[in-house]
Amino acid sequence: GENVEQHPSTLSVQEGDSAVIKCTYSDSASNYFPWYKQELGKRPQLIIDIRSNVGEKKDQRIAVTLNKTAKHFSLHITETQPEDSAVYFCAAGGRRALTFGSGTRLQVQP
Amino acid sequence: DAGVIQSPRHEVTEMGQEVTLRCKPISGHDYLFWYRQTMMRGLELLIYFNNNVPIDDSGMPEDRFSAKMPNASFSTLKIQPSEPRDSAVYFCASKEGLGDFTDTQYFGPGTRLTVL
């Protein structure tokens, strides 16, 4: 089955700086890579996703890149704000049910 | 739509007791997923249903866990007997039935289970 590894497990940045979270996956058949944000005590919510037919996707301050050859994808958050503080999960799947990474706790210091 | 609904939101029980968690998916969604979230193991898929039929239960940890979906608008996850290591947040999620898994899963608010 699919194995997704996510790094780092915790990340602390200053407000206004950029944050990058990286994931690798093992199943070359995976073709869908969503990112979920989970605020403390809340449910995971989709913030952006990418399919294997594109290499990059942007939505305002958030971008995701995908390298199919290397089997890794990354989440980039620019101009971070305190409200970006949360746990972020990557996932991989598409042909099969999603497998989630272990999560990254992002803390944005004001 | 109210989104995915789960009940109860919090459950505290004693070891050995039966626990039943409930989920109502978004209307029209054909897939329903049960996840367990813990600090140690992260977000684990336990089982998922398609059109009320269990498709993959390989994530169900033990025979003490069972799940049913008697109709398109209701599913249960039962633990009998419960053990302290079952303490976790259990999420239900649903998605439309597009035949694969390249569409958005919507999570419910979760049930925080504590087994004493």
Residue B43: CB atoms within 10 A of its CB come to 24
- Compute the mean pLDDT over every residue in chain A, rounded to the nearest whole number: 95
Cβ-contact B32, B48 below 8 angstroms: yes
3-state secondary structure labels for all residues of B37-95:
EECCCEEEEEEEEECCEEEECCCCCCCCEEEEEEECCEEEEEECCCCHHHCEEEEEEEE
Which of A104, A107, A85, A97 is closest to A35 using CA atoms?
A104
pLDDT at B1: 65
pLDDT at B75: 98
Residues of chain B contacting residue A103, judged by C-beta atoms under 8 Å apart: 42-43
pLDDT at A33: 96
| pLDDT single digits (tens) A64-84 | 999 999 999 999 999 999 999
- Say if residue B61 is preceded by a cis peptide, omega within 30 of 0: no
Sites in chain A below the pLDDT cut of 70: none
Q: Which of B102, B103, B104 to mutate to test the interface with A (most CBs of A within 10 A)?
A: B102
Chain A contact for B48 (CB, 8 A cutoff): yes
Residue from the list B43, B104, B109 with its beta carbon closest to the beta carbon of A100: B43
Give the closest-approach CA distance of A26 to chain B in angstroms: 17
Cβ-contact A3, A90 below 8 angstroms: no
CA dihedral A5, A6, A8, A12 (to 10 degrees): -170
Subunit contact B42:A43, Cβ cutoff 8 A: no
Give the C-alpha separation, B76 to B70, whole Å: 9
The separation between CA A9 and the C-alpha centre of its own chain, rounded to angstroms, equals 12
Residue B101 DSSP one-character state? S
Residue from the list A32, A96, A100 with its beta carbon closest to the beta carbon of B42: A100
| pLDDT single digits (tens) B35-91 | 999 988 899 999 999 999 999 999 998 899 999 999 999 999 999 999 999 999 999
Residue from the list B44, B91, B101 with its beta carbon closest to the beta carbon of A32: B101
pLDDT at A45: 96
- Say if residue B8 is preceded by a cis peptide, omega within 30 of 0: yes
Chain A contact for B49 (CB, 8 A cutoff): no
Banded model confidence at residue B29, pLDDT cuts 50, 70, 90: very high
pLDDT at A1: 84
pLDDT at B112: 98
Going A103 to A32 to A44 to A75, the CA torsion angle's sign is: positive
